[in-house]
Chain A
Amino acid sequence: MGFFLETLIGGLMAGMLYSLVALGFVLIFKASGVFNFAQGAMVLFAALAMARFSAWIPEWLGIDSRFLANTVAFLVSAALMFVVAWLIERLVLRYLVNQEGATLLMATLGIAYVLEGVGTSIFGSDIYKIDVGMPKDPVMILEGTFEGGLLINKEDLVAALVAAILVGLLALFFQKTTTGRALRAVADDHQAAQSIGIPLNRIWVIVWCVAGVVALVAGVIWGSKLGVQFSLVTVALRGLPVVILGGLTSIPGAIIGGLIIGVGEKLSEVYLGPMIGGGIEIWFAYQLALLFLLFRPQGLFGEKIIDRV
């Protein structure tokens, strides 16, 4: 029982990270109908920027405090993601308005390559560490209830908390601010939104900025857990089934989908894996998504506006 719960919690933690990546997908898809394959590259880019700036800034500015340096680095990286978002809108999306989904998808593949190339040439392609002062040591909880108790990483708990705060902030931003309302309007209907005077281009920049910040947070969390390296790009590929499962247009769907996939991967790996050779977490999520595509293409929470063929 204790082992099962530990696996479950491990899955939930991994799933939360998938949720963060999926959130970026969903935000952009809702607002602009672009299926952003570059989300993984954005995570890598943001994490690289954060890792390098947090190392460079103390040197440049002579800041001693770890916390202050990290805050400045985070802000600088966020600013950099804003620039990236602006450039993407300015140089790519502007010219591809109203194109088919598949064309936009391929364009984001191109963006992903450029971001990977630019990111690794500016920041280098070594493996970096991000140290944001997360507690590393594991804690035991519920020792009274089970024999041996449950072993949980404090780091995971902090990460979960950060993710929850981020989602809360996003919800507030979308529900309570004027910009958020404009974003939701654009998501509902591009033309109607434009006809009441919402500037589509600016909205897209904002949405990509938000997705950039989400990518940054995801990158910092992944980076501090596993180190910043090129393989972060594949995170996007892990996030794809999550959005299919949760529904492309649903923010709660992205979160719940991420948790389901995370738990499913870990449980299947532990309990099913030994029977059929192990390493199945690579494709488990995809087969789950494939099943969903066949029987419920809109996902768990998505709107039922998918093109039926």
Chain B
Amino acid sequence: MLYRENGQFKTSYAADQQIFPIAQDRWAILAIVAFAFVGVPLLVDEYLFRAILIPFLILALAALGVNILVGFCGQITLGAGAFMAVGAYAAYNFHIRIEDLPLLMSLLLGGLTSAVVGIFFGIPSLRVRGLYLAVATLAAQFFTDWVFLRVPWFTDNAASGSVSVSNLRIMGWQIDTPVSKYLFCLAFLTIFALLAKNMTRCAIGRQWMAIRDMDVAAEVIGIRPLFAKLSAFAVSSFFVGTAGALWGFIHLASWEPAAFSVDRSFQLLFMVIIGGLGSIMGSFFGAAFIVILPIALNQFLPALGGLFGVSISTAGVSHAELITFGALIIFFLIKEPHGIARLWSTGKEKLRLWPFPH
């Protein structure tokens, strides 16, 4: 009743092409963003920032990157963790080796380095696809794991192998409280999400989707597979690398290669599958889901067990977490291959007709 576009006439191309053609959507998104920037810092306590909101924002950014590659360009990757690691360590090296380099610059340079590495490991995609490509990206994963563990130059010869950053400031603004960290990540995510959305709507995004849907046909109509695939790898790795740099700098502050292990790669892939392949919105849903689920299980399973007189140990909860993840992935692949994002848009379609469906 409230959510319908009756009477909203589009009188210009700009109005027809905008991201949210329905006015209610536009207002809702604006309200959400405004609330995220203004309301959340006032309302939320420190624990929630550290445990949920900051990881969510950063992982959503990484999931956006993975979604560009897997969901939009159809190139499966199991090496997202590697590109996060490259981003984080590259940003770290820029940060400590170049005097007075602004924080923003080192983060973005980390992302760029990751993009270059991404292009390199994307080269096999010109030759193979599907599961073969998955193995090629795993090669990236294991190689970077080793490099950052064993080559001391990258960790500035740290004896323990872990690196840390401190005293982060951007234009005189100290990023040390959870609120400032949250706002910093949120700003990043907002800009990058807008960037991703627009990129997938324009020529390059359509090229990616053409390659994804049928590469031979795409080539026939004049899309260069080399450019399309490598650009998807580059953009995706840039996003993932920047997210990695944020994860290291802002969320962890001190980290070692294990923070970006192959489990992280799987986790990012699951976010994209559960959230929705080929959907910007889906990356957010997936990230939120995967960040919140373990915490929710931790909170509720023991309580639920108590209800039935069974005590569930911490180990039991982590097993339940594994099982739930696995089962959910299978469930989504079978029942809703387009993920939560599809459920969301189905819901919106229904809402437009409510309360008088056909």
**Interface segment, B53-61, B127-135, B285-293, B348-356?**
B127-135
On whether A289 and B327 interact (CB within 8 A), knowing A277-B150, A280-B146, A297-B128, the answer reads no
Contact of B322 among A99, A117, A279 (CB under 8 A): A117
Residue B326 CB within 8 A of the other chain: yes
B327 to chain A: closest residue by CB = A114
A297-B132 in contact given A110-B330, A114-B327, A309-B126 (Cβ < 8 Å): yes
Q: CB distance A112 to B326 under 8 Å?
A: yes
- CB contact between B146 and one of A100, A244, A282 (< 8 Å): that residue: A282
* Residue total for A at the interface (Cβ-Cβ under 8 A): 48
Determine if A307 and B127 form an interchain contact, defined as CB atoms under 8 angstroms apart: no
B323 at the A interface (CB under 8 A): yes
B321 adjacent to chain A (CB < 8 Å) = yes
A113-B132 in contact (CB<8A): no
Q: With A290-B136, A306-B132 given, is the CB distance from A114 to B145 under 8 Å?
A: no
A109-B266 contact in complex given A95-B334, A117-B326, A240-B138, C-beta closer than 8 Å:
yes
Closest B residue to A101 using CB positions: B130
Q: Which residues of A contact B142 (CB under 8 A)?
A: 237, 282-283, 286
Which among B143, B149, B225 is the interface contact of A286 at CB below 8 angstroms? B143
| Contact A111:B134 (CB < 8 A) given known A103-B333, A290-B139, A307-B129 | no
Interface 1/0 per residue, A281-299 and B, CB below 8 Å: 0110011011001100100
Chain B min CB distance to A95 (Å)? 4
CA distance in complex: A276, B151 (Å): 8
Distance in Å: Cβ of A136 to nearest Cβ of chain B:
31
Question: Which of A70-78, A118-126, A171-179 is near enough to bind chain B?
Answer: A118-126
Q: How far is the CB of A220 from chain B (nearest CB, A)?
A: 23
For residue A277, which residues in chain B have a CB less than 8 angstroms away from its CB? 150-151
Which residues of A sit under 8 angstroms from B315, Cβ to Cβ? Answer: 120, 125
A240 touching B135 by the CB < 8 A rule?
A: yes
Contact of A114 among B130, B262, B316, B326 (CB under 8 A): B326
With the chains together, A283 CA to B82 CA distance in Å? 13
B138 touches A237 (CB 8 A): yes
Give CA–CA (A307, B128) in the complex, Å. Answer: 7
Question: Cβ of B322: which chain A residues have Cβ within 8 Å of it?
Answer: 113-114, 116-117, 120
Partner of B129, one of A117, A121, A286, A309: A309
Q: What is the CA–CA distance of A91 and B321 in the complex, to the nearest angstrom?
A: 20
Contact with B128, one of A91, A111, A309 (Cβ below 8 angstroms): A309
Chain A at the B interface: mostly helix, strand, loop or mixed? helix
Docked CA distance A278–B327 (Å): 39
What's the minimum C-beta distance from A208 to chain B, rounded to whole angstroms?
Answer: 15
Q: Does A92 contact B (CB under 8 A)?
A: yes
Are the CB atoms of B76 and A121 closer together than 8 Å? no
**Which residues of chain B are near A294, meaning CB under 8 Å?**
123-124, 127
Tell me which residues from 78 to 103 in chain A have a Cβ below 8 Å from any Cβ of chain B.
91-92, 95-96, 99-103
Please determine whether B326 and A111 come into contact, CB atoms closer than 8 angstroms: yes
User: Are B129 and A107 touching (Cβ within 8 A)?
Assistant: no
**Does B127 contact A293, Cβ atoms closer than 8 Å?**
yes
Given contacts A117-B321, A283-B142, contact A293 B326 (CB under 8 A): no
Contacts of B74 in A (CB 8 A): 102
B interface list, Cβ under 8 A from A: 74, 76, 123-132, 134-136, 138-139, 142-143, 145-146, 149-151, 215, 225, 262, 266, 269-270, 273, 315-316, 319-330, 333-334, 337
Q: Can you offer 26 A-B residue contacts whose CB atoms are under 8 A?
A: A96-B333, A101-B130, A102-B76, A103-B333, A103-B337, A105-B130, A106-B273, A109-B266, A110-B327, A110-B328, A114-B330, A116-B322, A121-B320, A241-B139, A276-B150, A277-B151, A278-B150, A279-B150, A282-B142, A283-B139, A283-B143, A286-B135, A286-B142, A306-B128, A308-B127, A309-B215
Chain A contacts to B: CB under 8 angstroms: 35, 91-92, 95-96, 99-103, 105-107, 109-118, 120-121, 125, 237, 240-241, 244, 276-280, 282-283, 286-287, 289-290, 293-294, 297, 306-309
Q: Known pairs A102-B131, A121-B320, A286-B135. 20 more at Cβ < 8 A?
A: A100-B130, A102-B74, A102-B76, A103-B337, A109-B266, A109-B270, A110-B326, A111-B330, A113-B329, A114-B326, A114-B330, A116-B326, A244-B135, A282-B142, A283-B146, A293-B128, A293-B136, A297-B127, A307-B130, A309-B125
